[in-house]
């Protein structure tokens, strides 16, 4: 009975280690494949955000529709 428990523990540990190595290699590949998204600055408030989430108007970027409607903010930031 004790041998059966030890065998079960060894098999479970081997499966756990194999799954950890397999998922670790997959996650490292996905982070290497993705390039960082370029960041832009909101012309109204100055917050930085990914370009694919920003709104563009006349070569200026905005973080939201409200800021796009309000236009550029003060230049003393």
pLDDT score of 22: 78
Please provide the size of the chain in residues.
77
pLDDT score of 73: 84
Contact between residue 64 and residue 76 where contact means Cβ atoms under 8 Å apart: no
pLDDT score of 35: 80
Number of independent structural domains in the chain: 2
Q: Do 29 and 9 share a structural domain?
A: yes
The residues that bridge with 48 in the sheet, in sequence order, are: 41
Domain that holds residue 65: 39-70
Could you read off the pLDDT tens digit of each residue along the chain, which spans 77 residues?
899 999 999 999 999 999 888 776 555 555 556 788 899 999 999 999 999 999 999 999 999 999 999 989 886 55
Rounded Cα gap, residues 53 and 28, in angstroms: 25
Q: Do 43 and 30 share a structural domain?
A: no
Q: Do 44 and 29 share a structural domain?
A: no
pLDDT score of 20: 86
Residue 5 lies in a domain: yes
Q: Do 4 and 28 share a structural domain?
A: yes
Rounded Cα gap, residues 55 and 74, in angstroms: 19
Q: Do 18 and 47 share a structural domain?
A: no
């Amino acid at each position: 009975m004790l041998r059966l428990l030890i065998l079960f523990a060894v098999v479970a540990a081997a499966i756990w280690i194999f799954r950890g190595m397999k998922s670790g290699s997959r996650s490292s590949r996905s982070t290497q494949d993705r390039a960082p998204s370029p960041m832009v600055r909101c012309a109204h408030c100055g917050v930085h955000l990914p370009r694919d989430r920003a709104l563009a108007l006349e070569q200026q970027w905005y973080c939201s529709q409200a800021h796009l409607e309000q236009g550029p903010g003060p230049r003393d930031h």
